[in-house]
Structure 1
Amino acid sequence: MSDERGGPPGPAGGRRADGAGPDGAGPDGSGPDGSGARLGLRALGPYLREHRTALVVVALVSLVGAAASLAQPLLVGAIIAAVSAGASVAAPASVAVVVLVAGALLGGAQRYLLQRTAEGVVLSTRRRLVDRLLRLPVAEYDRRRTGDLMSRVGADTTLLRAVVTSGLVEVASSALVVVGAVVAMALVDVVLLAVTLAGVLTGVAAGVLVARRVRALSLAAQTRVGEMSAAVERSLSAVRTIRASGATDREAAAVVASAVAARDAGVRAAKVGAVVSPVMVVAVQGALVAVLAVGGARVASGALTVADLVQFVLYLFLLVLPLASTLQAYTLLQQGLGALTRIEEVVRLPLEDDDGPATPAPAPSVPAARTAPREEVAARRPADAPLLELEGVSFSYPDGTPVLHEVDLVVPRGSRTALVGPSGAGKSTLLALVERFHDVSAGALRLGGVDVRGLPRAAVRSRLGYVEQDAPVLAGTLADNLRLAAPAATGDDLRRVLAAVNLTALVDRSPEGLDAQVGEDGVRLSGGERQRLAIARSLLARPELLLLDEPTASLDARNEESLRAALAAAARESTLLVVAHRLSTVVDSDQIVVLEAGRVVGTGTHEELLDASPLYRGLAAAQLLVAR
């Protein structure tokens, strides 16, 4: 049944068991080694641009804060000089207190503004990423793991917060303090400045070399986190099957193994990052000892005063502390760029194109309510007025796997057409082509006489309803699910379609009525109720053509009978194209199309095919619809 889900053949819809992408690509699609393309600071531009006003304000606050920090050693020197001269220290001490308090307040304001801006960056990035993820071509979902995509929205975007709070702005503000401190130290004593720079720059150079390795290691760690998220999502989505199969321990072990791999990758990144701090400590302490030794000798020789030495030492701390912060910020920046690589890998994927003319021909109007019997609808719409036509349609997946071969099919308006055949015959793929989840490789597929490739996808889908084989029910209320394709529908509209598919009992059995919760994946509903709810949801949008993929695949006889009644109700409102394994639900169709190995091998009514199609006769006999 490789094609029955609309995805390429292979496990999990074409995904490799190890989570890797095509051609041995890494699990994140970035390359076999997971390293990804290296991004520079310029790549952060689009994520920071809309927050540039806030960043400018932060930069100005940082500039004033840097000036306050640079003024403090001067004021301390002035206090010491006043003490040495026996003068009053009230004035310089008062100014020093004011500057100190102002610097602290500015620091608090800077941290708040940075955190606020960082949260805004994370939000805008998530908004952009989610919008992108929901608009990718269907083939991308077939080859990627859902948990890994979720990890990019969660864990990867979170790392961008550190880039803003401790990254770019921190580097900029620290640079101002460093430059100011160097200038001030040069004015105090050039010899001590040379001693200081010799030790500090050696430590900085070593720290930068170490920090540059962090990006690749951080990217690898984030990739492992994505794999762990995918493993958790896989297990939770099938938790009932896992419990029933007695596989809980094995699945837990598999998830834990992925968590251990994520831990190990994180430890490797932390190990390299941890080297940065000791390198700077050694450099700072070495520079301080050297300054004190040389400075003490220069004070003893009279080349330097005690006040100058104290002032120089304070500037030394003003120099090394921002340098240490800058180096730490550089490390965080490398981690953020590693996460940005994974985010950009998704952002740069091509979206599902919405090609076609800017103003497509208007679809035929649909009456506000169409409740006449199907025979009357057919009488008003002649059988020779096709709604859907396939002419010589062939389709192969991007990897070259052929699925459909020169399929010819006509679906008249107001009719009910069934697609039957063995698993893997191409039935679900045909529906996917109608929905333009994929485009035909050859031939023409026309809706209302117009090739769908000449219409925007949104225009095509607005005329269609689609009920998948495992009809998804979204967590929320009955009303939430029904209004998915018709958000403006009224309560009366909802009750009308529920009654049409015999689901009025869903509203009556709960005091919440239409606001009753259906549970995660519709767990509070039976299989038959989920299928009929999906049909009701599609009918609410009043589609011209309703596509149903195996609506009775997992139903018992009683639910199958209810669903047959729902299909009859749907046929009164829309043209139907139904994929069916159970022939009993489609024997009364206007036409039945038999597919085998991607080719049409028979078309006709139930009685006609029993006489003309050996394959159909065999399927009917296997389901006890006819004597063998």
Structure 2
Amino acid sequence: MPADQTRPKPPRPRLRVLRQVVRDGRNTVPAVLLALAATAATLTVPLVVRRVVNGFTEHRSVTGSVMLMTTLALFGAVAAALSSFLLARAGESMVLTVRQRVVAHALRLPLPGARRLGAGELVARVTSDSAQLRSVVDIGVTQLPMATLTVTATLVIMGLLDWVLLLIVLGTFSVAGLAIAVFVKGIRHSTAAQQEAIGELAQRFTSALGALATVKACRAEAQVTDAIGDDATSAAGSAVSAARRQAFVTPIMGLGQQLALIGVVLGSGARLASGALSVAGFAAFLLYLLQLIAPLTLVANGVSRLQLGFAAQSRIEDVLAEETEDAVSSPQGQGDGKTEGEARAAGSAPEGNAEAGGAAVEFEQVVFSHDGERRAADALSFAVPRHGVTALVGPSGAGKTTALDLIERFLVPGGGAVRVLGRDTRRWPLHDLRAQVAYLDQAFTLLEGTVRENLLLGRATPVADDALWAALTAVGLDDAIIRLPQGLGSTVGRADDLSGGQRQRLALARVLLTDASVVLLDEPTSQLDSINENRLRDVIERLSRDRAVVVVAHRISTVRQAHHIVVLDEGRCLDTGTHDELLDRCGTYAELVRGQRLGLRVTAGV
């Protein structure tokens, strides 16, 4: 039974952005208190103005009231500024946490899942989508609550000043609110589409930069620019759609204020004439009406801006909902049904221990297909001895690289079992499995970082520079690294980048520094000249004395060095043996040798 049928699907993860920010009491509590203080100061100023007006009409000194009014205004401004800063700090702390969480999760995704999502899309989640979460914090924690509080308090005070004029205000703003609701309704859809388009843009642009040399060689700059431009156009169209709806919010609210002001002016005549409203009260009411537009507009705009944050939050949650490699349970009958983390928590150390004796790697009736297409492994069975060099050979598409990916558990078989050092790969904790298996891929991948960082990639303990230089010397790269401006401290990947062959040898030197029992090399000689190829064969021979070295090889010169050869075709193992044995009895292997045309001695009529 497949692993995903042995347990219920985990619940969709929730970021709970507001809850996380509120928990940051060091910043959030002072920010909220300062926002409350600023709101209180703002609400008090019109009442002080009423005192000033009464003072003028009664010929009393207004100096104290003016000073109080000025102090309240200044205090409100300073408190609002400090609150905004503290909230921004809390928001950036939240964004940092989300970014770290998404990066950690993305790097633990299975390779097929990460490739399906795309590098550009994942980058967009970490950059633009995470940044959009700030709108949830800025609006949701203080601005929207404080604006709502301000509106409510203002309306209450206006009702105390004159309830008839308040009804006029409520009537006009209710009509404006209904109109705004129509426009806000579609903003979340537009912003979600905008973020999706930005993700597609990032994905295509990332891919183009990765293939920049090919783009230039094919003179395809204009073609690729047009394709990226289409994604940019789509993003712009979605942004314009959201902006079109957003553009009506403030003008409609302003129109509501104007209509309310006209209604209040007309209605105040009768109220003033009847004595129900004083001139000072009317002045205070007008000030509250003028102040009301700002928080009302903030509420309307805040609701629409929250849609942008919620759309970004949903996209980030989509990534976090993807299962990581170590979240997949072992298939029934193959393991104990625990994830890697559960096994470690339960103290399941024996699951990661290699069994004595037997093969270093063993495939038993392994079945695997990519996205339901033709099987890359079809009842595949073969074994790799604990020591020596084993070469995997076969025509293109035979399943050689897939076999290496299955050994590393980049891929999980759909049937059968892959055993490393006597244990099913699905029963090893991933960290322990990959500590036992060193891997050099076809792209001889390096990270953008220093030479030293690339050599020590994944190591938890320091290594002396003498050991690093010894590894570089073994692959013939020491002279090239010495010539770099900062030697081991030089950054690889930008101005001081290495050639293809040099990058390959640097990746091989990294393998030399590991303590892995199994070494996987995917076509390690693809960009080496004859001198460095001979040096590589010497390194492989040295590694094979006490380790199992599995080499995917296309050069017969590499194959002939192998102690054991496995011939693959269409995901099946056709035969195993030595070079001479396979020339005698395996037609596919003999045809591969003949196709090399390297002047080798060919026997058995080949």
Q: CA–CA distance in 2 between the matches of 1:212 and 1:120?
A: 30
Partner Cα separation in structure 2 for residue 352 and residue 39 of structure 1: 16
Is 1:431 aligned to residue 404 of structure 2? Answer: yes
Structure 1 residue 171 corresponds to structure 2 residue 144: yes
Given that 1:501 and 1:535 are in contact with CA atoms closer than 8 Å, whether structure 2 keeps it comes out as yes
2:449 touches 2:493 (CA, 8 Å); kept in 1? yes
Structure 2 equivalent of residue 160 of structure 1: 133
1:25-83 CA-to-partner distances (Å, cap 9, x unmatched) read xxxxxxxxxxxxx999x943455354355223211111111111111111000111111
Matched-pair contact (CA < 8 Å) for 1:392–1:405: yes
Work out whether residues 167 and 332 of structure 1, in 8 Å CA contact, stay in contact via their aligned partners in 2. no
Q: Which residue of 1 aligns with 2:161?
A: 188
Matched, 1:550 2:539: no
Letter of the 2:154 partner, please give it: A
Query: Aligned partner of 2:465: which letter?
Result: G
What letter corresponds to residue 349 of structure 1 in structure 2?
E
- Is residue 140 from structure 1 mapped to residue 113 from structure 2 by the alignment? yes
What is the letter of the counterpart of residue 464 of structure 2?
T
Give deviations 1:487-509, integer Å, cap 9, x for gaps.
52221221122122222222332
Alignment match, 1:104 = 77
3-state SS of 1:578 partner: strand
Aligned to 2:482: 508
Distance 2:438 2:517 in 1: 8
CA distance in 2, matches of 1:535, 1:573: 17
Instruction: Say which is worse superposed, 52-61 or 540-549, in terms of deviation.
Output: 52-61
Unaligned runs of 5+ in 2: 1-11, 328-338
Q: Say which SS state the counterpart of residue 386 (structure 1) adopts.
A: coil
Equivalent residue letter for 1:577: V
**Percent identity for Structure 1 against Structure 2:** 36
**1:54 maps onto 2:43 in alignment:** no
SS of match in other structure, 1:437:
coil
**Pick aligned residue for 1:412 from 376, 381, 385:** 385
TM-fit CA distance, 1:570: 3.0
C-alpha deviation, 1:273, in angstroms:
0.9
With over 3 angstroms needed to count, the CA separation of the structure-2 counterparts of 1:523 and 1:615, relative to structure 1, is: farther
**1:242–1:334 Cα change, 3 Å:** same
Residue 158 of structure 1 aligns with an amino acid whose one-letter code is: A
Question: CA separation in 2, counterparts of 1:292 and 1:437?
Answer: 74
Is 1:360 the counterpart of 2:334? The answer is: no
Which of 526, 537, 545 aligns to 2:510? It is: 537
Residue equivalent to 1:220:
193
Q: In terms of mean alpha carbon deviation, does 601-610 or 243-252 score higher?
A: 243-252
Taking the aligned partners of 2:210 and 2:370, their CA distance within structure 1 comes to 27
Matched, 1:528 2:517: no
Residues 39 and 341, structure 1, Cα contact 8 Å, conserved in 2: no
Partner of 1:287: 260
User: Which ranges of structure 1 fall in alignment gaps of 5 or more residues?
Assistant: 1-37, 366-380
What secondary structure, in the 3-state scheme, does the structure 1 residue paired with 2:360 have?
strand
Greater shift in the superposed pair: 47-56 or 94-103: 47-56
Paired position in structure 1 for 2:49: 76
| 1:373 alignment partner in structure 2 | none
Partner of 1:612: 585
Partner SS for 1:485: coil
Q: Deviations over 1:103-134 (max 9, x none)?
A: 11111111211222221122111111111111
Q: Within 5 Å, which residues of 2 pair with 1:476-495?
A: 476-487=449-460, 488-495=462-469
Separation of aligned partners in 1, 2:431 and 2:312: 33
Aligned residue identity for 2:492: V
Q: Are the aligned partners of 1:389 and 1:410 in contact in 2 as well (CA < 8 Å)? A: yes
The SS at the match of 1:547 is strand
Cross-structure match for 2:594 = 621
1:518, CA displacement in angstroms?
2.2
Structure 1 residue ranges (4+ consecutive) displaced by more than 4 angstroms after TM superposition = 362-365
TM-score by length of 1: 0.87
Counterpart of 2:245?
272
- C-alpha separation in 1, matches of 2:50 and 2:402: 81
Counterparts of 2:398 and 2:182 in 1: how far apart (Å)? 58
Alpha-carbon distance in 2 for matches of 1:249, 1:558: 41
- Distance in 2 between residues matched to 1:245 and 1:313, nearest whole Å: 69
Counterparts of 1:230 and 1:50, CA distance in 2: 35
Deviation at 1:563, TM superposition (A): 2.8
CA 1:142/1:565 → structure 2, altered by over 3 Å: closer, same or farther? same
Q: How many residues align?
A: 573
Match of 1:361, SS state, is helix
Aligned-partner Cα distance in 1 for 2:513–2:19: 40
- Measured in 2, the distance between the counterparts of 1:527 and 1:225 equals 33
RMSD (Å) for aligned C-alpha atoms: 2.3
Are 1:485 and 1:538, in contact at CA under 8 Å, matched by a contact in 2?
no
Match of 2:536 in 1: 563
Residue range with higher mean Cα deviation, 199-208 or 326-335: 199-208
Is the CA contact (8 Å cut-off) linking 1:532 and 1:566 kept in structure 2? no
Deviation at 1:609, TM superposition (A): 0.4
Query: Are the structure 2 counterparts of residues 523 and 394 from structure 1 closer, same or farther at C-alpha, using a change threshold of 3 Å?
Result: farther
C-alpha change, 1:169 and 1:258, in structure 2 (3 Å) is same
Aligned counterparts of 1:445 and 1:466: Cα–Cα separation in 2: 16
- Change in Cα spacing, 1:209 to 1:364, as seen in structure 2 (3 Å) is closer
Corresponding letter in the other structure for 2:293: V
Residues 58, 113 of structure 1: 8 Å contact kept: yes
One-letter amino acid matched to 1:507: I
Contact in 2 for aligned 1:414/1:571 (Cα 8 Å): yes
Q: Which residue of 2 aligns with 1:347?
A: 320
State the partner residue of 2:65. Answer: 92
Q: What residue identity is the alignment partner of 2:286?
A: V
Q: Structure 1: how far apart are the matches of 2:223 and 2:277?
A: 73
The answer to whether the 8 A contact 1:63-1:176 is kept is: no
Alpha-carbon distance in structure 2 between the residues aligned to 1:465 and 1:546? 5
For the residues of structure 1 that align with 2:437 and 2:548, how far apart are their CA atoms?
A: 10
Partner amino acid, structure 1, of 2:275: G
What is the alpha-carbon distance in structure 1 between the residues aligned to residue 387 and residue 238 of structure 2?
Answer: 59
Q: After alignment, is 191-200 or 395-404 more displaced?
A: 395-404
CA 1:203–1:314 in 2, change beyond 3 Å: closer, same or farther? same
1:503 aligned partner, one-letter code: L
- The partner residue of 1:453 within 416, 419, 426 is 426
SS at match of 1:164: helix
Cα 1:47/1:242, change in 2 over 3 Å: farther
Contact 1:147/1:227 (CA < 8 Å) preserved in 2?
A: yes
* Equivalent residue, structure 2, for 1:236: 209
TM-score (norm 2): 0.90
Shift of 1:579: 0.7
